[in-house]
Structures are given as C-alpha cells and as structure tokens.
Amino acid sequence: MQLILIGVVHRDPHGKRRLERVLESLRPEAVSVELSPLGLAWREGEGRRLRDKLDRLTSNLPPEKRGHHRIRLLRAALDIPFEYEAARSYAVKQGIPLHLVDINWTSRNHLPLFEQEILTPSNLERLTSEEGRPLHLVVRNEYKKAERWLRGSFVWSLEGRWDGLEERRERFLACRLRSLCRIYACLVHVGGWIHLIPEPGRRTLFCRLQDLSPRRILLTGVEVPPFNRHTWTRRADVWPASPW
C-alpha cells in the first residue's frame, strides 16, 4: 500500500495543469480530493450567481482595485476547484475512482458566509485596502513558504489556533483515507499543503497518518524528505498568516 499526499496552494491559477502533470507521473490506482460533495454541488448551483454578484459589487470599486489579487482569489473560490477538475479529468481518462472525502457539515457551516459576510461592500473595501500584488507572485511565495516549513526541522504548534471542529474534520479525513488505503494499492490524496505539516499535538492529517509512512509532495514537484520526529524543534511562537 502506498499513500501519497499532494500539498497544493488553493486557487493556484496554474494548479490544474500542474496537478495533471503530477498525476500522470504518479499514475495512482485512485485519487481523493479535499472537497465535499456539498461543496461541489454548491459551486455548481450557486457559483455563477455569486460571481455575478461579485462583479456588481466590484464595479463600484475604483478601477485600480477591481483586479486586486484578493478579489481574484475570492472569485476563484466561487469556481469549481482546480483540484477537482484535474483529478476528475485524470480519473475519467484512466478509468479509476475519484473520491470527494471532505465533510458536508464543514461546507454547510462555512459556505453560507460567502453571501452573508464576504460578498459585502464593506468587506471588499477592507480586502482591497492594502496594495495589490501580482497573483502569480502571491502563489509562488506561498509555495516557497510551504517548502520551507515542510522541509525544515521544526514543527508548528496548533495549540489555541484550531477549534474543535477543525480537529474533528482532520480526524474524519484521516479515517476516510485509511479506509481507502485498505482498498487501493496506490492512493493519491490532493489537499491544502497546511495539512501536511508535522505538529506536536499530532492533530494534522499527516500526523494522524504517519504510521502509514505517506509520501508528501508539493504541487510544484518538491518531494518532502521523510519526517524524523527526533529532530523536532518546536516553534509555537509563530504561525503562518494566510494570504487568502
């Protein structure tokens, strides 16, 4: 049995092409994606309406803010995720199973916030209050940061930073992947890179599956060396701030 965890930067504009190449090189027996069936159905049913609403709201912003990287990331969050599109394309081509393993109740809790709290004039004004950056540089810097954290000899504490729901979600995802590993000789799971980090409380997906000796690969092609817990240097004082 081989489990391969692919860490991505969500909403990477080049992510679909990158993921297709990685899957072609790995040739797994099955693929799973960090996406719930409800999350997919919501984007298929509500995505266009909410993108239209976003366009109406951004039309009231100054021209220089309409192409702000945070607005582009927000619009991408309403699209079908590239992780699903690439995995589905590969699965159909190879005739292999594709599993959506995230939890519907997580989507049910968070997706309504798009319209209630995120797609509001005041929030868009806040998001664009700082100077915008080229999106490809934002994504590139995030991958560089991911590589530093995943290849480093230190770990990050989630103490006080993840609530109970996040821990339950991570535990549930680990259980689902364990079940799939009993079925397939080679399973590739695609999800956010933050789930691949080592953590003293052993709460991340990687830590919960560490006994399966999963390979960890960033979507940029960087493979993370096997983790040695005896070299841990705890870093609880700093935690990554997301650019999203």
Query: pLDDT digit string (tens) for 117-155?
Result: 999 999 999 999 999 999 999 999 999 989 888 876 555
* Alpha-carbon span 74 to 69, nearest angstrom: 9
pLDDT for the residue 243: 39
| Helix H or strand E encompassing 218 | strand 215-218
186-192 and 215-218: which strand pairing?
unpaired
Please identify which residue in the block is written with the tokens 């983790």. 227
Q: How many CB atoms lie within 10 A of CB 113?
A: 10
Three-class secondary structure of residue 97 per DSSP: coil
pLDDT for the residue 191: 97
CA-nearest of 9, 21, 1 to 196 is: 9
What is the average pLDDT value for the chain, to the nearest integer?
88
**Residue 18 pLDDT level (bands cut at 50, 70, 90):** very high
CA-nearest of 92, 87, 98, 86 to 17 is: 86
**Residue 135: alpha-carbon gap to chain centroid:** 17
Token duo for residue 152? 């480093």
CA distances from 202 to 2, 156, 213, 235 (A): 21, 10, 14, 14
Quote the pTM value: 0.89
Q: How many CB atoms lie within 10 A of CB 109?
A: 11
**Rounded mean pLDDT of 186-192?**
98
Q: Does the pLDDT of residue 73 top 50, yes or no?
A: yes
Helix 69-77 to helix 135-151 angle (10° resolution) is 80
CA distances from 239 to 147, 156, 206, 231, 233 (A): 15, 7, 17, 19, 14
pLDDT for the residue 158: 57
* Alpha-carbon span 187 to 181, nearest angstrom: 7
**Residue 237 pLDDT level (bands cut at 50, 70, 90):** very low
Tens of pLDDT, residue by residue over 34-57, are 999 999 999 999 999 999 999 999
- Four-residue CA torsion sign, 138, 140, 143, 144: negative
